Amino acid sequence: MKHIDIKKIFDGSLVGQKVTVCGWVRTCRDSKNMAFLELNDGTSLKHLQVVIDKSVMKGYENCTALGSAVKVEGTLVKAVSGNGVEINAENIALLGECPPDYPMQKKKHTMEYLRTIPHLRVRTNTFNAMLRVRSALSYAIHRYFQQNGYVYVHTPIITGSDCEGAGEIFRVTTHDWNDSYKTQKEYYDADFFGQKAGLTVSGQLEGEMAAMAMGKIYTFGPTFRAENSNTTRHAAEFWQIEPEVAFAELPDIIEIAEELIKYIINAVLTECPDEIAFFDERFEKGLTQKLKNVVESEFKVLDYTEAIDILKKSGKQFVYPVEWGCDLQTEHERYITEEVFNKPVFVINYPKDIKAFYMKQNPDGKTVAATDLLVPGIGEIIGCSEREVDTEKLTAAMKERHINVDEYKNYMDLRKFGACPHSGFGLGLERILLYVTGLGNIRDVQLFPRTVGDLK
Ligand code: 4AD
Ligand code: MG
């Protein structure tokens, strides 16, 4: 069906010409002589007004129901009011009717209700804008890495190892347990892969292997965590971007992370001004200015030990008490970024006992060369570290965590054959999207969210 995107119509270059557009009816106003339809085809947040002269055009009445899919031919003209454009319809055809039980008729639904109809909520302005920002953000992430010489690698989704060592893995199997298996080993031996398998929680370990050949790589794909945490920031399936850089130490990778975040936020500001203005108005007042400030600011780098001092001296009653050695909870992270620094903060040198086995141990014997990037309103958006390359230290860290070293033979080989300092991080796409849109719940930045007890 030859037609023009509504986004293209809005650039004004076709004024005076005959055009054909397709879209869904978003509003309809009827007056004595005229009818006005607003169409949206998903290419733009703005709706296109279609002007129908009732004295000339017959048979338009079946095209006015909200949600109907229609095709309009007409002449594009300057709008009678305002400085936009509109179409004087000459022909209008119904492509798909939309009966009155269409749930999106009502002007305003709550976000909670919309989550019950994920297949239809994409038709709201909010989801329309979110998905366009998500797309632009993803493209900007690829552009940043591609322009800087990184190789995009696809790490496996089905894996036999647990990168984060936290055991929050979804199992992949083709058969159920039954009593004919005498031992777990017998059961796993008989399974598809002949061993225990699961969905990846992170592509890092394989990413490190690729980086040991390609120098600079990044992954960008789905990761899965069976965390039973029902929060606004945890999803069971989320997209992660994981660069891994050979010959980079912690300060180097921090620089890269900061540059990436600024680059992609700037890209969204430039490429999605209507969407950001929409979110600014509807979801987070001052969003545009916040994002501009981030692009211009210098992120704070704060030692974990200093962070603990700040929290202890804050005089605040936190739900989770603060002691050196504790993991920072969202309430702590938000206090630091929102109330103390009011900008993104890299907290560095966490206690080694609360972090993953693969992180490089600092000479103090207590901390690791790791950082989380915390942002106001969200908390952690990036988990990052330099990797441990000393085989003995790495083995000891694995044993302390009851990790079976034999299952990580390939990973250990990286330390044996041409090992070098290297670092990487994981950026959660949904987390940065929450930050960039001001939306408050991870369930609203995914097309079909997967969270505990919810698989629509
Ligand atoms: O801090 P995490 O667990 O780090 C890793 O997975 C490392 N292997 C990354 C690396 O060094 N290559 O996760 C990284 C990021 C978090 O900062 C967060 O943004 C996001 O992934 N994330 C989640 N996002 C949504 N839902 C969840 N359940 C998430 N868990 C982590
Ligand atoms: Mg983390």
Q: Which residues surround ligand 2, an ion (CB under 5 A)?
A: 383
Q: Looking at the predicted structure, is the pLDDT value of residue 167 above 80?
A: no
Q: Looking at the predicted structure, is the pLDDT value of residue 228 above 90?
A: no
Q: Looking at the predicted structure, is the pLDDT value of residue 289 above 90?
A: yes
Q: Looking at the predicted structure, is the pLDDT value of residue 165 above 90?
A: no
pLDDT, average across residues 421-439: 98
Ligand nearest to the CA of 426: 1
Specify the ligand 1 atom closest to the Cα of 384: 11
| Higher pLDDT among residues 229 and 45, named by residue | 45
Q: What local confidence, expressed as pLDDT, does residue 58 receive?
A: 83
| Separation in Å, CA 168 to CA 107, 164, 177, 202, 454 | 40, 9, 20, 11, 17
- Asked if the domains at 6-102 and 121-444 fall in one CATH topology, the answer is no
Residue 180 makes CB contacts below 8 A (sequence gap 6+) with: none
Q: What local confidence, expressed as pLDDT, does residue 107 receive?
A: 72
Q: pLDDT tens across 125-155, in order?
A: 999 999 999 999 999 999 999 999 999 999 9
Helices (H) and strands (E) in the chain, counts: 14, 17
- Residue having the nearest C-alpha atom to atom 21 of ligand 1: 428
CB-based burial of residue 367 (10 Å sphere; 0-12 exposed, 13-18 middle, 19+ buried)?
Answer: buried
Specify the ligand 1 atom closest to the Cα of 429: 19
CA dist., res. 47 & res. 26, Å (int)? 8
Q: pLDDT tens across 327-358, in order?
A: 999 999 999 999 999 999 999 999 999 999 99
- Residue having the nearest C-alpha atom to atom 1 of ligand 1: 383
Nearest partner of 426 among 366, 396, 385, 392, judged by Cα: 385
Residue of 238, 337, 386 to mutate, ligand 1, most atoms within 8 A of C-beta? 238
CA dist., res. 29 & res. 32, Å (int)? 10
238 Cβ closer than 6 Å to some ligand 1 atom: yes
Q: What local confidence, expressed as pLDDT, does residue 398 receive?
A: 95
Ligand nearest to the CA of 235: 1
CA dist., res. 147 & res. 267, Å (int)? 14
Q: What local confidence, expressed as pLDDT, does residue 48 receive?
A: 97
Q: Are the C-beta atoms of 375 and 334 separated by less than 8 Å? A: no
Name the CATH topology of 121-444. Answer: BirA Bifunctional Protein; domain 2 (3.30.930)
Nearest partner of 150 among 425, 432, 435, 428, judged by Cα: 425
Residue 362: pLDDT band with limits 50, 70, 90: very high
What is the Å distance from ligand 2's center to 371 Cα?
A: 9
328 Cβ closer than 6 Å to some ligand 1 atom: no
3-state secondary structure of 353: helix
Ligand nearest to the CA of 233: 1
What is the Å distance from ligand 2's center to 428 Cα?
A: 10
Q: pLDDT tens across 26-78, in order?
A: 999 999 999 999 999 999 999 999 999 999 988 899 999 999 999 999 999 99
Q: What local confidence, expressed as pLDDT, does residue 213 receive?
A: 98
Q: pLDDT tens across 99-127, in order?
A: 999 999 877 899 999 999 999 999 999 99
Q: What local confidence, expressed as pLDDT, does residue 208 receive?
A: 98
Nearest partner of 376 among 427, 419, 341, judged by Cα: 341
> Which letter does DSSP use for residue 174 in this model?
S
Nearest partner of 197 among 187, 210, 183, 211, judged by Cα: 187
* Cβ density class 402-430: b for 16+ within 10 Å, e for less: ebeeeebeebeebbeeeeebbbbbbbbbb
CA dist., res. 100 & res. 108, Å (int)? 16
Residue 393: pLDDT band with limits 50, 70, 90: very high
Domain ranges of the chain: 6-102, 121-444
430 Cβ closer than 6 Å to some ligand 1 atom: yes
Residue 229: pLDDT band with limits 50, 70, 90: confident
Nearest partner of 378 among 340, 331, 413, 424, judged by Cα: 331
pLDDT, average across residues 171-182: 92
What is the Å distance from ligand 1's center to 382 Cα?
A: 7
DSSP character string of 262-298:
HHHHHHHHHH-HHHHHHHHHHT-TTHHHHHHHHHHSP
Q: Looking at the predicted structure, is the pLDDT value of residue 1 above 80?
A: no
Q: pLDDT tens across 202-220, in order?
A: 999 999 999 999 999 999 9
What is the Å distance from ligand 2's center to 277 Cα?
A: 31
Helix (H) / strand (E) containing 256 = helix 250-271
Mean pLDDT of the chain: 96
- Residue having the nearest C-alpha atom to atom 30 of ligand 1: 234
Q: Which one-letter amino acid corresponds to residue 434? A: L
- Residue having the nearest C-alpha atom to atom 26 of ligand 1: 234
* Number of residues written out for the chain: 456
Q: Are the C-beta atoms of 103 and 120 separated by less than 8 Å? A: yes
- Residue having the nearest C-alpha atom to atom 7 of ligand 1: 426
> At the fourth CATH level, which superfamily is domain 6-102?
Nucleic acid-binding proteins (2.40.50.140)
Q: pLDDT tens across 443-455, in order?
A: 999 999 999 999 9
Residue linked to tokens 């004087």: 88
164 Cβ closer than 6 Å to some ligand 1 atom: yes
Residue of 141, 153, 159, 202 to mutate, ligand 1, most atoms within 8 A of C-beta? 202
